[in-house]
Amino acid sequence: MTDTPQNPMQQLWQQQPAEGIHMSIEEIRRRAAKFEKRIIWMNAREYFAGAIGMALMGFFLVRAHDNLSRIGFGLTMAGLAYALLHLYFKGRPGTASEQVGVQCANFFLEELERTRKLVDNLWWYLGPLVPGLVVLTIAPALANPQPAVLLRLAIVDLFIAGAFVLVIRLNKRAARCLQKQIDELRSLQATP
Amino acid sequence: MIATKAIPARKSSQDTLYEEAADTFGLALERLTRAYEADPDHRRDLLQEIHIALWRSFATFDQRCSLRTWVYRVAHNVGASHVARQYRNRLQTLAGLEELEALADPQSGESAADRTLTLQKLFELIHKLKPLDRDVILSYLEGLGAHEIGEITGLSAQNVATKIHRIKNILTRIYNEGGQIRD
């Protein structure tokens, strides 16, 4: 239902040929159930990579020759589990039925805020991995304190630290971009 | 990660409201979907997603706004989420009405002197717009007034008025480029 068109472009828009697609309630229920299943699989896929990482750490934990290495792999597994749980609780987009009927600016703001927080607080994901990685560096150094081994470990550590810094910087830049969009949106709401 | 919610099996006022909304605004939803997705296959999926979201949303519809306002809010929000998913980090590459108004060239040679070409130009313009500007222009094209557009989008009255003014300028240019629209 629309108001009487005033502008010829409104008329043109509203007179577009339409297919008149209709779905019965039964069809909606069926497709909603299918849609839910698809979402469950999509979510499962996102956790699959984390699960592989944890399985790998578990494998190394079992195969490790000393206790310090076992602790290192165990801490890394715990860190991965924590990061996945944090992602599960904080990473939900605002597409649930109870949010979808809010004013568009608020819906969009909510989405932008959620994404900004996610990319701006990467330590929640990277931080828990640090203790395990530190222990895993110390363990072989203590077991075999040869200069060549120490040098190799230092290079690995530098590479990991560099990757962390790069990821954090890229995400900080994305967070600034998102904050700019949030500020623009708030100013559009604030003006009387 | 996307949140999921259990689907109630009982027939309820949720179903009745959905049926009323689908009957009344079904064609408008189709038009809105075209404005959010150009690819016909993806468009069918998006329309389906909007209908499902609408049906689910009626479980929490508290009638604090009109049915029409609610339907447009849901459709625009699902559409905007779809655009955000498509573009991911490229949302900032979409333009605002003010930029498009400045870019529109009234002397551009190509004439779009029929309905199809004029509509095509309109869709090209809409697909370039940022989500909220897209919501405003689509609501305007659907014939909604400034007050209701404010209710749907949550933008202040002054901003809606400014945006509608810009939209009218842009639409007039597109219309004039096409000359008199023929059937």
Task: Work out the percent of chain B whose per-residue pLDDT is above 90.
Answer: 42
Q: CB within 8 A of A119, min separation 6: which ones? A: A171, A172, A174, A175, A178
Nearest-by-Cβ selection for A5 from B19, B51, B143: B143
The pLDDT mean for chain A works out to 83
Show which of residues 96-115 on chain B sit within 8 Å of chain A, judged by CB atoms.
115
Structural domain contains residue A9: no
**Is the distance from CB of B101 to CB of B166 less than 8 angstroms?**
yes
Average pLDDT over residues B34-60: 90
Task: Work out the percent of chain A whose per-residue pLDDT is above 90.
Answer: 21
d(C-alpha B30, C-alpha A74), whole Å: 53
Cβ neighbours of B131 in A, within 8 Å:
104, 108
How many residues in chain A?
192
d(C-alpha A39, C-alpha A64), whole Å: 38
Q: What is the DSSP letter of B180?
A: S
Q: How many distinct structural domains can be found in chain A?
A: 1
Q: What is the four-CA torsion angle of B137, A95, B70, B156, rounded to 10 degrees?
A: -50
Q: Report the alpha-carbon angle B61-B64-B66, nearest 5.
A: 85
d(C-alpha B133, C-alpha B129), whole Å: 6
Structural domain contains residue A16: no
A119-128, A147-156, B152-161: range with lowest mean pLDDT: A119-128
Structural domain contains residue A134: yes
Structural domain contains residue A14: no
| Model confidence pLDDT, tens digit, residues A18-36 | 777 788 888 888 888 887 7
Q: What is the DSSP letter of A121?
A: -
Domain that holds residue A74: 25-190
| Model confidence pLDDT, tens digit, residues B163-180 | 999 998 888 888 777 644
Structural domain contains residue A81: yes
Structural domain contains residue A61: yes
**Is the distance from CB of B46 to CB of B37 less than 8 angstroms?**
yes
Q: What is the pLDDT of residue B3?
A: 45
Domains and their CATH numbers in chain B: 12-91 (1.10.1740.10), 94-183 (1.10.10)
**Is the distance from CB of A95 to CB of B79 less than 8 angstroms?**
no
**A16/B31 touch (CB, cutoff 8 Å), yes or no:** yes
Structural domain contains residue A123: yes
User: Is some CB atom of chain B closer than 8 A to the CB atom of A138?
Assistant: no
Structural domain contains residue A158: yes
Q: What is the pLDDT of residue A1?
A: 45
Give the bridge partners for B129, in sequence order: B95
A3: helix, coil or strand? coil
Predicted ipTM of the assembly: 0.78
Show which of residues 69-88 on chain A sit within 8 Å of chain B, judged by CB atoms.
87-88
